[in-house]
A and B are shown apart, each in its own frame.
Chain A
Amino acid sequence: MSLRDVLSPFTAWKHVINDPVTIKDPFSREASDRYRGFHQNDMDKCIGCGSCEEICQNAAIDMVPVEGQNAGPGDSGLRPMIDYGRCCWCALCVDVCMTGSLTMSNEYTWVDSDPDAFRFVPGVDAKSWDLEPKGYQREDERRLTGTVRAPMGETCPEDRIGNFDEIVDGFTAEQAIIEADRCVECGLCVATCPAHMDIPDYISKVRDGDYEGGLQLLYETNPFSQACGRICTHKCETTCAAMHEGDAIAIRWLKRSITDSVPRERYFDLIQKPDVPETGQSVAIIGAGPAGLTTAYDLARKGHQVVVFEALDKPGGMMRYGIPEYRLPYHVLDHEISVIESMGVEIRCNMRVGQEISMDQLKTAYDAVVLSIGLHQGRSTRVPGSEKAEAAIDLLRRITAGEEVPVPEQVAVIGGGNVAMDIARSMARLQKIKHGKVGVTVTALEELDRFLADKEEIEEALEEGCDIFPARGPQEILVDGDTVTGLRTWKVDAIFDAEGRFAPKYDEDDEMVHPAGMVVEAIGQMADISLLGAELTEQLEWNRGRIMIDADGQTSEPWLWAAGDAVSGPDVIHAVADGHRVAVSISRMLTAKREALQ
């Protein structure tokens, strides 16, 4: 033993007058600022997507219904209940949280003799640390799921304005997988989709590269997945969990990537008619749009004979005669409808009910009749000179049918919805082809941010050279002899009165004249119900100008159902949902009828 070993203990005495480095009161010591303690959950932000439960490696989290939180758009109403007997405080749940609602306080000391006390719903079952600002929070820029949408290729404005070619490229396989990978598969979107498509399930098929399985899944809920993959109003994307801290998942484009990835001839192998006996019963469907054809598809697959009567040259309804080709190419629609026909559905075109065949004849010859006639009559502004105006919907139909339409150098469109954008952009294309330049003016009552049209429709119209004048109310269509010369508008001060009724107020001093050789009205459509005839019109029950239907789509007549835009308003996916509903209701009636006869 050296002298140093003997003396060194005494050198410690030199610290006797220093402040101690140990903690005076170790029992009430606060944890460090970013300590991972008991959870906090902000009820205003939590959407009940269950990503926390999904990621938990200890199965410590259950999603449970709680008092005061209701299911609604983009919120399941469920909230995470945590079992602290299993929690290992790893904070993966905080890291994955899609809204940032779930955090951790730095409180971790709690003694209780009841083990069940350690199972509770943070943010609902009040705890002393609920408002504690310290504790673990996800670092601001760190996200486990991607926040940015995979890029989508599009034809540039200069290249697309002179033709009706499709604009959007569709995802490549790589882009689709990157986009699908961002989805946490919570399924909040499914409730928002009118047809309640199995969105997370088909997105996971994209991720696995199983496009054929994905296609079969799409057809279970929507025989118009090709069309919807292109032009759906995609309300699902407004309730996506990913939108809270980034871009919503491009659900519509992922659907399209499935339908585009399966070779067309394979559709007929993958989507086959189920092996069911023929019922010998038959259904007549009036109108070959998405509602009518979805009904037809479902009923044919149940063994009923289905005949669709279509007034126009080709089937498709608004998808063909309303939506321009650059958004939904006709060959896509043709293929989609041929799959429906392969179920044994017969479509008779150029058969206008009320002319070629009457409602009475249908009622007699078929076990049930479905009215899915859409909204093919344009509404008019009824301002002076409006008898000289064109109806957007009529013009769009004529363009599709290949009819010659007048193409003046300057066109004014009244309306701010998607149909207004469709006709503005269609006319712009025709002008470019005929005159080499675009001259389209769009006027609407609403401010630009309140336009009913989709944002991308407005952006693309502007890119293509259309001029948009928001908050302008039409006063007169100016006419010189037989020719239209322009549109006179006033500035709109307010569209609705204090009670919320439509009563536009104008600033008469702010007048503009938009020169135009054609004025197009695109302010809404109505159903052409002349086919019903006076007697049936009288018999049916009505609700504010629309045929009244029950929850199953049945009218007040026991043999007549109604579906689609004419009763539900304009939207393809809504029409598809209507079609499913009506088909189930009719099938139920037909089965009861069969059983009664046996």
Chain B
Amino acid sequence: MRELLYRLKDRYHFGTPTFQRDDLCFVTVKRSELRAILTELRDVEGFTHLTLLTAVDWIEEQQFQLTYMINNREANLTLALRVMLDREDATGDTIHDLWPTAATYQRELREMFGINFPGSPRVDEEFILEGWTDLPPYRRDFDTLAYSQQTYHDRPGRETHDPKTHMQKVLYADYPKGAK
């Protein structure tokens, strides 16, 4: 795999590769070169299988990271290409023509992260969320707790206790807390 990257590095811009294992490597590539690299890896280097396509929300950096994981079954090698997108714009380039299964991943990313892939088949249709009107739920600024509290009822009779307050009540109720 190192040898493969070495061969390609003159023609493409690669970040520093991270080898999780000898047969599993992550590397960041330029968005404009992604399609060319994927095509070459698929058609020339034997990476025929798209294992997965997923995203990470780097909200502090205002970026989305797309991870394209592809596999060469013959050589038992897995390579994951990372592409950084502007979080504000949140638009990726569809690869459904390279791997038809990508359309499903892209539909999922559209729904869960709000990352659009113009031209991808049925990308605007609901995937698993029905009638969702809130922020895409995998975005890190989506408040899961607030959503679940708004959406679901508590069983009646629920009551919780704060450890600090509880211990004060039980262990030192008489101590004059604070000089105020």
A residues with a Cβ closer than 8 A to B are: 48-50, 53, 56-59, 61-65, 70-72, 76-78, 83, 85-86, 115-116, 119, 186-188, 190-191, 196, 200, 219-221, 223, 274, 297-298, 301, 551, 577, 580-581, 583-584
Contact = CB atoms under 8 A, between A and B. Distances in A.
B176 interface: yes
Contacts of A297: 179
B159 A64 contact: yes
Instruction: Summarize A's interface: helix, strand, loop or mixed.
Output: mixed
8 contacts: A50-B162, A63-B166, A86-B148, A187-B167, A188-B163, A191-B171, A221-B177, A580-B175
Contact of B164 (A62, A86, A116, A200): A200
A59 B168 contact: no
B158 A77 contact: no
A116 B171 CA distance: 31
B160 A186 contact: no
A61 B158 CA distance: 9
B174 interface: yes
A53 B152 contact: no
B39 interface: no
A83 to B, nearest CB: 6
Contacts of B176: 580-581, 583-584
B154 interface: yes
Nearest to B159: A62
Contact of B155 (A49, A50, A115, A274): A115
A196 B174 CA distance: 12
Contacts of A64: 159-161
A200 B163 CA distance: 12
Interface residues of B, number: 28
Contacts of A116: 155, 157
Contacts of B149: 59
A65 B157 CA distance: 15
Residue picked from A50, A59, A62, A116, most chain B C-beta under 10 Å: A59
Given A65-B166, A119-B155, A190-B168, 11 more contacts: A59-B154, A63-B161, A64-B161, A83-B154, A83-B158, A187-B164, A191-B171, A196-B175, A200-B164, A581-B175, A583-B176
B146 to A, nearest CB: 10
Interface of B: 144-145, 148-149, 152, 154-155, 157-164, 166-168, 170-172, 174-180
A71 B166 contact: yes
A59 B144 CA distance: 10
B155 A76 contact: no
A196 B172 contact: yes
Contacts of A298: 179
A71 B171 contact: yes
Given A196-B175, A221-B179, A57 B161 contact: no
Closest 4 CB pairs of A and B: A187-B164, A76-B163, A62-B160, A57-B144
A61 to B, nearest CB: 8
Given A57-B148, A186-B164, A200-B164, A301 B171 contact: no
A83 B152 CA distance: 12
B154 to A, nearest CB: 7
A301 B162 CA distance: 31
Given A86-B152, A186-B164, A62 B172 contact: no
A577 B174 CA distance: 12
Given A59-B149, A64-B159, A115-B155, A76 B179 contact: no
Contacts of B166: 63, 65, 71, 76-78
Given A221-B179, A580-B179, A57 B154 contact: no
B128 to A, nearest CB: 14
Nearest to B152: A86
A235 to B, nearest CB: 14
A56 B158 CA distance: 15
Contact of A191 (B148, B161, B168, B179): B168
Given A58-B145, A221-B178, A77 B155 contact: no
